[in-house]
Amino acid sequence: MSRFAAPIAEQIWNMKYRFIDPDGASADATVEDSWRRVARALAAVEADPDAWEERFYSALEDFKFLPAGRIAAGAGTGRRVTLFNCFVMGTIPDDMGGIFDNLREAALTMQQGGGIGYDFSTIRPRGADVKGVGADASGPLSFMDVWDAMCRTIMSAGSRRGAMMATMRCDHPDIEDFIAAKADPARLRMFNLSVLVTDDFMRAVEEGASWDLSFGDKVYRTVEARDLWNRIMQATYDFAEPGVIFIDRINQANNLNYCEEIAATNPCGEQPLPPYGACLLGSINLARLVIDPFGPRARVDAAALKDLVRVAVRMMDNVVDVSQFPLPQQAEEARAKRRIGLGVTGLADALLMLGLRYGSDEAARQTEIWMHKIAVAAYLASVGLAREKGAFPLFDAEKFLASGNMREMDESVRDAIARHGIRNALLTSVAPTGTISLYAGNVSSGIEPVFAYSYTRKVLQKDGSRTEEEVVDYAVALWRERFGDAPLPDHFVNAQTLTPSEHVKMQAAAQKWVDSSISKTINCPEDIGFEAFKDVYIQAWQEGCKGCTTYRPNDVTGSVLSVSETADVAPGEGAAQGEGGEVVYMAEPLDRPAELEGATYKLKWPDSNHAIYITVNDIVLAGRRRPFEVFINSKNMEHFAWTVALTRMISAVFRRGGDVSFVVEELKAVFDPRGGAWMQGKYVPSILAAIGGILEQHMVRTGFLAGEGMGLKADPTAEVVNLGAPRGPACPNCGQYDMRMIEGCMTCASCGHSKCS
């Protein structure tokens, strides 16, 4: 029988984690082959690889331990890819040469599949003097635009676009522009943004004090701290960004605060890292460790949990030695500190099996107990590795035991570290597990609540037809298996029925025993008041969280999938509707009329001797204009081949009808490694991006697009079937309306696509 608990799990494995030879043959015929491949690769550095391969295989078997996607997809394949998920890049120097050296490093890292974080606080503010040049600085946001353009063109290993986090200190003179950046829907789309909030700033907010915005030794201006805080909150309320990182708390709690300072995180925020810091991720699947689920003695098997953590720590420590690294600085940093990020998934499902309501005081206490057990087991496992293989190179017993989380750790653990050292400087983290949770049978993701207990997924078949299949939460499927159609109990709650306060309570309970950080989304209702919304962040600050990310569905951010509230649904149960609207596209191209309306635009690219002329002709359907064909011409013969190819390809796409606005977005994303140009006050990353901008201007002018960076204003060639239920945005990978905000990142429930995982 198949090990997969649901069809979607096998489809995710086949698409994401199954190794396919370069010749197209599958090296992994079954999921057991995938487990064996990973186990063998990670055991290769052991003195007795055969014995450890069996131990590692047993941990992977039946999805008990889930290495993050980089490891599952890359280990043992021979591909030159990194097995690390998270990177924070080097400190950006405040000079042009250093800035573009860092841009190159970012491109190399994302090319190998790493998500990256950057602190842009080190770049002087807009308008500051640039000595020796006689010019004013353009400021950090202008360089973030350059990074954004580069990222949009880098396809990471595993066909994943790069993901980036940008941070800025709350006292940087350009912080207000940073806060407002996402108000422009076309800007910085490849970035997650977070403000580095200090303790001094939070105290200034509480006391109603003033706040200096400074760079170097110069104070540029002074603002009211509460006004700045309200700006952050308003932007987050309206656009879901920026997030908030309590940076002083992160540094104070860091086990390595004696030898590093942190100013940025990876894209989803669960890994605060120093310059060139790297971390790998993995998750214990708590849902697979529950004994007597839904029964009177339901519990997590404590012995099995302890043993699984011990093996998982060893596996992850071995990844440090077998992985490739995009940059030598990253390899050096990883091997000097041997950070790992062991977390959990399936926590909400495990709570359900124990009869506990997610968000309740009892559930928070149980979460803290589980995370404590995992932390103690992980630290003792790392001590055992230190006895066998040596402590991490920068280990200093006196300083380590006096730093960070170690001050609160159990005395038995502290004594063991004092005697033998420890192999890994930091060990725990709660990462986004959107895709691997689907792969494991649709268990609840990370420490998040269940989003919806079931939903209908449309699956594209080889003949072009679509079939429907029900995707059921792991705990609900187990309930049905044991109790048939019996109604779900009242403690089965989901993300939509919880209060923001309950979300924060669960994050804070888990954070106490997590030495890095946690990726979690605090879901807020659309109608939450602004003052109540701000209170969510104050609660996160007061209860010890290291950061806070919220999501409030609205017209700007998009709505999450709806949950059915029909009368025949059992308490707490709902079906997320992925079929609220569907666009039926034309199968045959439109016929060309004898005469079309159009316009011709002149594009003069800097450093080019000849202009390019772009003609766009429109067809009128149902009284509305839509693009039908494009002609691109230039006297420069070096342009001949690609302009002809582009003319034919774009025209062919336009003539198929439907939503063709993606053509604009793809062209605007093209990055030229030789450099772009500043045109009309904006950085344009390539000549192809400039052509995309002209096409966009034309479509806006004719009323086809609603505005720059926005979607269709109307599409008279599409038949819209509205079944009455709200829908989320369409997935850019599979087209299904199944995008959800999970752990700070929009994730598709149908195919697992996510910018961040």
Rounded to whole angstroms, the Cα distance separating 293 from 494 reads 19
Q: Cβ(294)–Cβ(479) under 8 Å?
A: yes
Rounded to whole angstroms, the Cα distance separating 29 from 607 reads 53
Find where tokens 């308008």 sit: 127
Contact residues for 133 (Cβ-Cβ < 8 A; gap 6+): none
Out of 268, 545, 748, 756, which one is annotated catalytic?
268
Cis peptide before 593 (omega within 30 of 0): no
**The two three-digit tokens of residue 688, written as one number:** 């192809």
Consecutive H or E run containing 640: helix 640-654
Catalytic residue list contains 266: yes
Give the 3-state secondary structure of residue 481.
helix
Q: Cβ(301)–Cβ(308) under 8 Å?
A: no
Angle at the Cα of 268 (from 266 to 273), degrees rounded to 5? Answer: 25
Catalytic residue list contains 270: yes
Name the phi and psi angles at 343, rounded to 5: -135, -155
Rounded to whole angstroms, the Cα distance separating 740 from 731 reads 10
Rounded to whole angstroms, the Cα distance separating 243 from 549 reads 5
Catalytic residue list contains 268: yes
Q: Cβ(521)–Cβ(551) under 8 Å?
A: yes
Rounded to whole angstroms, the Cα distance separating 410 from 374 reads 12
**The two three-digit tokens of residue 74, written as one number:** 């890359």
Of the candidates 607, 432, 585, the one whose C-alpha atom is nearest the C-alpha of residue 69 is 432
Name the phi and psi angles at 547, rounded to 5: -170, 175
Contact residues for 538 (Cβ-Cβ < 8 A; gap 6+): none
Q: Cβ(228)–Cβ(172) under 8 Å?
A: no
Contact residues for 270 (Cβ-Cβ < 8 A; gap 6+): 86, 281, 341, 343, 429, 430, 431, 432, 516, 517, 518, 519
Rounded to whole angstroms, the Cα distance separating 552 from 487 reads 30
Contact residues for 86 (Cβ-Cβ < 8 A; gap 6+): 114, 115, 117, 266, 267, 270, 271, 273, 277, 278, 279, 280, 281, 341
Q: Cβ(259)–Cβ(212) under 8 Å?
A: no
Q: Give the orientation angle of helix 49-60 with respect to helix 302-322, to 10 degrees.
A: 120
Contact residues for 753 (Cβ-Cβ < 8 A; gap 6+): 731, 732, 733, 734, 747
Out of 270, 333, 573, 582, which one is annotated catalytic?
270
Out of 85, 251, 255, 266, which one is annotated catalytic?
266
Of the candidates 403, 410, 342, the one whose C-alpha atom is nearest the C-alpha of residue 372 is 410
Rounded to whole angstroms, the Cα distance separating 251 from 196 reads 12
Positions annotated as catalytic residues are: 266, 268, 270
